[in-house]
Amino acid sequence: MMSKIIKPDKSEVTFKYDSLGRRIEKSSDEKSMRFVWDGNTILHEYVSQNDSDKIENLVENSNQTDADMADNLVTWVFNDGFVPSAKITSEGHYSIISDYLGAPVEAYDDQGDRVWSAELDVYGRVKDYTGEKGFIPFRYQGQYDDVEIGLYYNRFRYYDPEQGNYTQIDPIGLAGGNPTLYGFVRNTNNSFDPFGLWSYYQLKDDLGNIVYHGITDRPIQVRLIEHANGNGNTSKKLFSQVSYLDALPDRIAARNLEGSALYHAFKADANLYNATRPVSEGFYHQYNGPDKIAKGRTFLTQAEIESQMKKAKTVNVDRGGKIKCPT
């Protein structure tokens, strides 16, 4: 992860991360901004001047009083995914309106007055805005605008909106399916990339029943549109929800979940959209029981799958496959 930027004027901006690779501090000569996370989204951020006592922890071992901390504490509220829906500060509460890709476009105060708006170009660069540009720092899903350096922090790497590329290679290399290892998504009109890692997902009907198990190294939104419309080699499916685990480290981890889930599902539900084998019983990509799996793979029990899925995000989807923004 990037630890320091030296700007043309020789000033420095440094970064610190926790053991999960989440950025917890951004510091310049004048101030330090610290971040508290809720899973893979930012819950709180707050600023301390570098000539003041240093804040070691938001809750414990703090050298700053509760009153001082409350003055600049910002709380972010997200929906079930990566779309911010509200900003809470000591000065007021603000509602955030996002477009169909989940990128914030407007913010309103508790009186209903618009206090901020932004328009992005195709690669996420801010073309026009009203209010303070950094009032809402989130751009495409998973991106945080670091105005000090002109880059967007994108969880596992940094994105340059002027170039439309990342500044570091994809952490999963060519497994990401993009031969340009520094490249963003193929089509920014229907895609976003909060992580760039593998995902396991379950498509569900109106009653919450699972109708399909799948994995992907592309943005979930892309696969949902393909499933809903029958694009390419993907058959058309009816579903209204998706539960997904993202940031899985590799294809094997994702396939372990999918294959094991299909093995268990075959005993209870042979009517899934997943294609069945033409000769033998079972679904494609399923694991044929705990004694017949390939080397390096792991067979998961139903309880183990359900335990992992407790960490999954669940969002509603329209008939065209687009994730619905909260209303």
Last residue of a domain, one of 117, 142, 166: 166
204 with 160, same domain: the answer is: no
Q: Name the residue with higher pLDDT: 241 or 52.
A: 241
Position 61 pLDDT exceeds 50: no
Last residue of a domain, one of 115, 148, 166: 166
22 with 153, same domain: the answer is: yes
155 with 243, same domain: the answer is: no
* 195 band by pLDDT with thresholds 50, 70 and 90: low
* 52 band by pLDDT with thresholds 50, 70 and 90: very low
* 279 band by pLDDT with thresholds 50, 70 and 90: low
Buried b (16+ CB within 10 A) or exposed e, 231-246: eeeeeebebbbbbbbb
Average pLDDT over residues 8-24: 91
d(CA 75, CA 11): 29
93 with 204, same domain: the answer is: no
Q: Name the residue with higher pLDDT: 49 or 44.
A: 44
Last residue of a domain, one of 166, 186, 218: 166
Here the tokens at position 217 are 């190294």
131 with 271, same domain: the answer is: no
Amino acid identity for residue 162 in this structure: E
Here the tokens at position 305 are 């799958």
Residue the block writes with tokens 């414990």:
60
| Residue 282, domain member (yes or no) | yes
Q: Locate the DSSP E strands across the chain.
A: 4-6, 12-17, 23-27, 31-38, 41-49, 74-78, 84-89, 92-98, 104-108, 114-120, 126-130, 144-146, 151-153, 158-160, 165-166, 198-204, 210-216, 241-248, 313-316
Here the tokens at position 32 are 């330090």
Q: What is the pLDDT of residue 40?
A: 84
| Residue 218, domain member (yes or no) | yes
Name 128's bridge partners. 119
Domain that holds residue 282: 198-316
pLDDT tens per residue, range 98-122: 988 889 999 999 999 999 999 998 8
213 with 105, same domain: the answer is: no
Average pLDDT over residues 162-174: 66
The total domain count for the chain is 2
Name 35's bridge partners. 45
Q: What secondary structure letter does DSSP report for 197?
A: S
| Residue 78, domain member (yes or no) | yes
| Residue 179, domain member (yes or no) | no
